[in-house]
Amino acid sequence: MTTPVCTSASDAATSARQTRSSATYPSFTSYVRARQPVLLRTARSLTANPSDAEDLLQTALTKTYVAWERIEDHRALDGYVRRALLNTRTSQWRKRKVDEFACDELPEPEPVAGQDTDPAEQQALHDAMWRAIMRLPARQRAMVVLRYYEDLSEVQTAEVLGVSVGTVKSAVSRALGKLREDPELGLVR
């Protein structure tokens, strides 16, 4: 059994922090204990994620703690904390990273030499390939998908399926032969 090296130091620091915060502003501590569920509901209404709401409330309470001496009317604390919640959330929203930009022209992908660039034809080829793969026997289909769609090696495919590497090689070879002979894919070549 291992024990932390600095157990007494961390316990002392924690108790000192608790003593200092409760000694400095005992009314703040009692306010947070009493109003935290209500304020957390307010924070959750401002964010979609409960974890973000907890972070938002913690930030707003930190701002309130820093300004505790300047707050004259402690009967209006809920309004002050709600305003801090809203301002903090607005600041977070403004600082978010935006990856999309509005532009006049839609960007088109650069055409690759020797490749058909029509998206409709690419989708038709994709659909025809999947239909052909679905017509393969289940074992061959699994091996083709693992080898070429999941990009596993022959050894990894054999391990996943619990067969030998030779079985994978022969089954994939037969499956590719069936795909080459598939009449629906013959039109694409």
Q: Would you state the pLDDT for residue 123?
A: 85
Report pLDDT for 112: 67
Show me where the domains of the chain are located: 18-94, 119-186
Beta carbons within 8 Å of 142's beta carbon, 6+ residues apart: 161
* Through-space distance between the first and last CA atoms of the chain, rounded to whole angstroms: 67
- Enter the pTM of the model: 0.41
Q: Work out whether the CA dihedral 112, 118, 123, 126 comes out positive or negative.
A: negative
DSSP 147: I
Phi-psi region of 134 (alpha: psi -120 to 50; beta: other; left: phi over 0): alpha
Candidates 3.30.420.40, 1.10.10.10, 3.40.50.150, 3.40.50.2300; CATH matching 119-186 = 1.10.10.10
The helix or strand, by DSSP H or E, that contains position 10, with its residue range, turns out to be: helix 7-24
pLDDT, residue 100, reads 67
Which of 173, 172, 155 lies closest to 164 in space, CA to CA?
Answer: 155
Side-chain-facing half-sphere of 46: CA atoms under 13 Å: 24
Which tokens sit at 22? 């409760």
pLDDT by residue, tens only, the chain of 189 residues: 444 444 444 444 444 444 444 457 788 999 999 999 999 998 998 888 899 999 999 999 999 999 988 888 878 888 899 999 999 998 888 887 766 667 777 777 676 666 656 778 888 888 888 899 999 999 999 999 999 888 889 999 999 899 999 999 999 999 999 998 988 887 655
pLDDT recorded at residue 47: 85
Architecture per CATH, domain 18-94, reads as Orthogonal Bundle (1.10)
Say what the pLDDT of residue 177 is.
92
DSSP 8-state secondary structure symbol assigned to residue 81 = H
53 contacts 47 by C-beta, under 8 angstroms = yes
